[in-house]
Structure formats: C-alpha cells, structure tokens
Structure 1
Amino acid sequence: MAKSKEIRVTINLECVNCAENSEKRCRGISRYTTQKNRRNTSMRLELKKFCRYCGGHTLHKEIKK
C-alpha cells in the first residue's frame, strides 16, 4: 500500500533580518510555526510577522526542517 502525501503541511518561518543584523535589541532568531496547503502554495511562503528581537514587523521566510 502506497503512502499518501498530506495536503496540509506544517512549516517554520524564520526572520531574515535577525541573521544579518548585529545591532538589535536582544540576541536570538524569531521563528513561527504555521501550516500551508501544498496544492495551493507550492512555492516557499513569505509573510510579514512581528519579530521581538528586531522590534518590528519584518519579512519571515519558510525554512527547511
């Protein structure tokens, strides 16, 4: 019996500014966990989320687990 692929998958989003920026409020990298529909969104997801380390809304990109 073949293994079926799940349509909704859990992904991790990571702040792009945290890795590049050395002058931020605190040390760390902001990460969020969310789900996406694999059929509707086949490309990597990019969302603007709040980063507590940068102190504002920044771009968060999907990363590999």
Structure 2
Amino acid sequence: MPRDIIILECTEAKAEGKPTSRFVTTRNKKSLNTPGRLEKVKFNPFLRRRTLHREIR
C-alpha cells in the first residue's frame, strides 16, 4: 500500500490553553518531496482561525 494514514495536530492550541484539534489524512510513503513530518495550515474550531497543524507519530 503506497499511502500511509497520519494524524495532524494543532501546534498553537496548547500554548493558549484550549483543546487541540486533530485531522486524519493520508500521505504518500514514497514521496521524495516530504521526507520529514507533514505540516499544513488547517482551521481550528476551538481557536476559530487557521493554524499550523503538524504530523504526530
């Protein structure tokens, strides 16, 4: 299977004392463009704005 299931977690919510938002998505295992952890800007409903979400393992 060439795709891997990953979880993206908000990086800004813990500093503000709010619950963290998490998203489940997939990524290509064999991609040379993303060798490290995936980062995306997603909407956090607890902070009501777009924040950086980073892949957790």
Compute the TM-score of the two structures, normalised by the length of structure 1: 0.77
Alignment of structure 1 residues 1-65 onto 2, 5 Å: 6-22=1-17, 27-40=18-31, 41-64=34-57
Displacement after TM superposition at 1:7 (Å): 2.0
- Taking the aligned partners of 1:28 and 1:15, their CA distance within structure 2 comes to 9
Whole-Å separation in 1 of the counterparts to 2:14 and 2:38: 18
Q: Which runs of at least 4 in structure 1 moved beyond 2 Å after TM superposition? A: none
| Unpaired stretches in structure 2, ≥5 consecutive residues | none
Structure 1, gaps ≥5 residues long:
1-5
Partner SS for 2:19: coil
Greater gyration radius: 1
CA RMSD of aligned residues (A): 1.1
SS at match of 1:11: strand
Identity of aligned residues (%): 36
